[in-house]
Amino acid sequence: MEWFLALVLFALAFYQREKLRTLQYRVESLEGAIDHVLALLREGKGAEVAEAVAPPEPAKAKTASVPLVVRRTGEPVSKPEPVADLQPQPLLPEPEQQPEEPERRFAFDFEELFGRRLPIWAGGVTLAVAGVLLVRYSIEAGLLTPSVRVALSFLFGLGLLGGAEAAYRNAERVGDERVCQALAGAGLATLYAGFYLAGSQYDLIGQTVAFLGLAVVTAAAIGLSYRFGLPSAVLGLVGGFAAPALVGGEEANLPLLALYLALVTGGLTQTGNRQRRPWLGLGALIGGLGWGGLLLTTGGMSGVDILALGLYFVLLGAVLPALLATEKLERPLRLASAAIASLQLAVLVDEGGYSALAWGLYLLLGGALAWFGWRKPEVRPASAMAATIGVLLLGLWPAPPEAGFAAVAAALATIFAGVPLFHLHTRSDQLVDRLSAALVPLALDITMLLTFGTLDSDNLRIAEALACLALAALPGAAAWLLWNREDAVSLAVNLASAAVLAVLAGLCVLPAMATPFLLGAIAAGLCLLLRRRLQETLPLAAVTWTAALAALASVPASDALMREMDALVTGTDHTNLTGILRWLASAAPFALLAHLERDGLRRGIAEAVAALAAFAALAQVLPPIALVWTATAGVLALRWRMPGRDMAMLALVAAIGLWAFLPLVDWTGAGAVSLAGDPFLLSSLSSLRSTLGHILPLALALAAVQISERGFLKSPMALGWAALPVGFVVLHVLFKQIFAIETMTGFRASGLAERTVFEALLLSLAWGAAKGIGQMPADRRVATGLAVLSLAHFSIFTLFWHNPLFALQAVGPVPLANLALAAFAVAIAGLLSLRLWHPRWRVWIDALVMATATLGAITLLRQAFAGSYLPQLPMSQAEDLLRSLVGIVLAVAFLLIGSRRAERSWRVGSLVLMTGTAIKVFVFDTAGLEGLVRIASFVALGASLIGIGWFYSRQLRSEPTPQ
């Protein structure tokens, strides 16, 4: 009992707090208005107006009233409180000066709160407590029997209600409506206590009679709220929902209790609407739903119990939220009510063993929500919430019979998808209707397939297929109704739903290997259906692209033995007609998109995917080399007949590159090892078959591809430059077959010859690129690259790692006419070629030519003394002196060349070489010579120096040529 009184006091205090704030604001507004009027009087602005307007007659009443509370419908008329006498002053303020509304602020008035507001309410509560204490005193003193105590409580409660009526009828004399409200509240609380004591404490009456008594008091409280206002309404709300708990027994009568709660909730909701107190209806809904949750915990329900509770949940989930008049929290309230009631009904369906009665009640809730949604569109989201819970509940149905499952699913589809489809037909639809028409059939179909395990095997399921098609008709019809509207998103969602349902229908009757045919056909159909709208809206394009990607993904997903995927990696040696057809079916939608799309980027992606799928299809019937060459032929054909399909060509090049990847890795690995000094033997390379079958097609395909502008390139870009390194690999492997060096012995005997011929070949190709070959125009950049490559090959391998002066490399037994002369001649020719093509590098190239010629002359001199393998014999004194002579001769030759060509770089090179030779003679050569040989060396060096000096003196007297 104490908690009941505490709830009442809390509700009253909360109400008074809000009311006090409202009154405080109104008082402050009046004070601000009075201050404004007094300010106008002090300024004298109302004097002229006062002369023009005749003063009105004084009012008969001596007091002026200021209303404190805005009267609601059904509330008693309250008398205004008297305020100080004020003589009316006729004032008419100027129109342009409007008084500003004073800022609302909180102010605490002790006298107002504790002197005028709270005492009356405290008195009412005190009277109720006094009645309780009086009964308690009589119990402790043993003065009254239980029957008398209960009778006195009833009399006291009725007396308080009578006092409230008397105060209401004499409102003018009482002067405060809160007196009757306090008395009515105390009387109702006393009557609640009386029935509680009679039924639960003293067992004077049965629990049913006590419950009916409490129900009567609740009805009286609701009715008196129209006469006495808020306290009666609060007591009706609290007492109405507390009554079942106050007199509850061990075995509750669920139908009667549900009826009682429905009446209380409905009555309070209607009362809140009539009295413009939406919080009253909200509180009633919360209390009713709370009691619904408690009732579900009883267990062991009969059919009548299920029916009563189901109707009760329908009332709370659909009817009352739709009838509740509130502007705040309207949509969240209806959504929450529908969700909670749907969950409670779902629990009831589970408790009822998924019987037809339980399912019928849930469908009744859905029908009620659909009906109210037709009358009030703002209720439709609640119907979508119930649809979601209904589909989940259907999925939780354990071992359902097929007929019962089909009936429930059909009813759910009719209510939650058919009704929104009707709204679409009448053009009264909302977004939730368009989404429901698309998603509810799809969710029902997936639930059906998962429940019965339809897709777990390739068995023929005609009934499920027909059900899928029937459900697909709903979003299909919605898409047809939305076709001419501007809502592309809703159209895309419904088309996607219909397409998925059609796919699921096909999977019910087709084997798994036919999935690409099914998905490819549906994706192609969507492409053709939306061919005129692909460029308009992105959602519709997304539907077609998603369908096409699904068709492509279905190929590996339905490849149970992974034979088709293995063919992409390892190739095949047999013909797989099914595989090629499956891949072609997945390529068809992308081929259509490549034809229909006008957006450059999307069109390019479609081309690339279609080309890759076609390559995968060919991989099912062709061996690897034939596959790669067929793809290369496709690239060349596209370049010739359809040059704009560059992304398709690029995709085929990428596929060819994957097959050429491993051979290129083998060559790259061997080349990297050779850069570290190990010989590049034939056994380190990939086979000739692999080179011609995989690497050569890649070079040809790269040479044919050109990427055009597609929104991410400023200008078209050819990939011929990328074909050069790949072509170099092919050329190198083919060249390696000529000498076929596979051992170190062969490398010592033929290594220099192989390198010299290869460098000469590169230089020849450089001159061919510089002059142009056939229809190929001259390209100095390619020529320069090949010449530099030839020189780099000579520098790294012939000069550094395998120099015949230090390494065992056969140069040939014949002096002068040997490989050393050829190797250095090719290098000098390469340098002179670069000098011709790039004159601005002339000075540096001349220096390299002189250095190479000097080193070549020394190598030839060494061969004359040592034979084919230069490091085998030590250098003699004569050879050393001849090196100095060679240096002098070359210095003179460089000087003559520089003089003849009027190029200072050669003359400077001559001086550098002569200086080095002189240092060698003076420091090294003469140290080991004696006699005539020593004298001859000095004579030769001196004569050379004098001759060079004389030549320079004549040369410098002439006009120098600008370098």
Token pair, residue 838, equals 């790039």
Cβ pair 679, 736 in contact under 8 A: no
Are 19 and 162 members of one domain?
A: yes
Residue 607: the pLDDT is 93
Are 922 and 825 members of one domain?
A: no
When mean pLDDT is compared across 131-140, 390-399, 618-627, the lowest value belongs to 131-140
Q: Is 422 a domain residue?
A: no
Listing DSSP states for 76-116 in one string gives: PPPPPPB------------TT-PPPPPPP-----HHIIIII
CA distances from 301 to 253, 296, 358, 399, 798 (A): 11, 9, 11, 22, 100
Last residue of a domain, one of 873, 905, 939: 873
Q: Is 556 a domain residue?
A: no
Residue, of 873 and 30, whose pLDDT is higher: 873
Residue 711: the pLDDT is 47
Last residue of a domain, one of 842, 873, 904: 873
Burial class (CB in 10 A: 0-12, 13-18, 19+), 100: exposed
Indicate if the alpha-carbon torsion angle 749, 750, 753, 759 is positive or negative. negative
Are 17 and 162 members of one domain?
A: yes
Token pair, residue 585, equals 């079916």
When mean pLDDT is compared across 87-91, 227-231, 364-368, 524-528, the lowest value belongs to 87-91
Q: Is 641 a domain residue?
A: no
**187-206 residue pLDDT tens:** 666 666 666 566 655 566 76
Residue 13: the pLDDT is 52
Instruction: Please list the alpha-helical segments (H only) found in 229-277.
Output: 230-246, 254-274
Backbone φ and ψ for 710, nearest 5 degrees, come out as: -140, 35
Q: Is 841 a domain residue?
A: yes
Average pLDDT over every residue of 28-47: 69
Are 28 and 158 members of one domain?
A: yes
Residue 228: the pLDDT is 60
Average pLDDT over every residue of 848-876: 93
Are 849 and 884 members of one domain?
A: no
Q: Is 500 a domain residue?
A: no
Indicate if the alpha-carbon torsion angle 270, 273, 276, 279 is positive or negative. positive
When mean pLDDT is compared across 250-259, 563-572, 592-601, 678-687, the lowest value belongs to 250-259
Q: What is the C-alpha separation between 313 and 366, in angstroms, rounded?
A: 11
Residue 351: the pLDDT is 85
Are 917 and 810 members of one domain?
A: no
Q: What is the mean pLDDT of the chain?
A: 79
pLDDT band of residue 307 (cuts 50, 70, 90) is confident
Are 886 and 829 members of one domain?
A: no
How many domains is the chain partitioned into structurally?
3
The neighbouring-strand residues paired with 706 are 718
**773-822 residue pLDDT tens:** 777 788 899 899 999 999 999 999 999 999 999 999 999 999 999 999 99
Are 28 and 153 members of one domain?
A: yes
Q: Is 512 a domain residue?
A: no
Residue 65: the pLDDT is 38
Residue 358 has pLDDT above 80, yes or no: yes
Are 843 and 883 members of one domain?
A: no
Q: Is 868 a domain residue?
A: yes
Last residue of a domain, one of 839, 873, 907: 873
Most confident of 45-49, 681-685, 791-795: 791-795
Amino acid in position 927? A
Cβ pair 864, 815 in contact under 8 A: yes
Average pLDDT over every residue of 254-267: 70
Domain assignment of residue 853, given as a range? 743-873
Are 859 and 915 members of one domain?
A: no
The pTM of this model reads 0.67
Are 902 and 784 members of one domain?
A: no
Q: Is 233 a domain residue?
A: yes
Residue 920: the pLDDT is 75
Are 18 and 167 members of one domain?
A: yes
When mean pLDDT is compared across 55-59, 451-455, 718-722, the lowest value belongs to 55-59
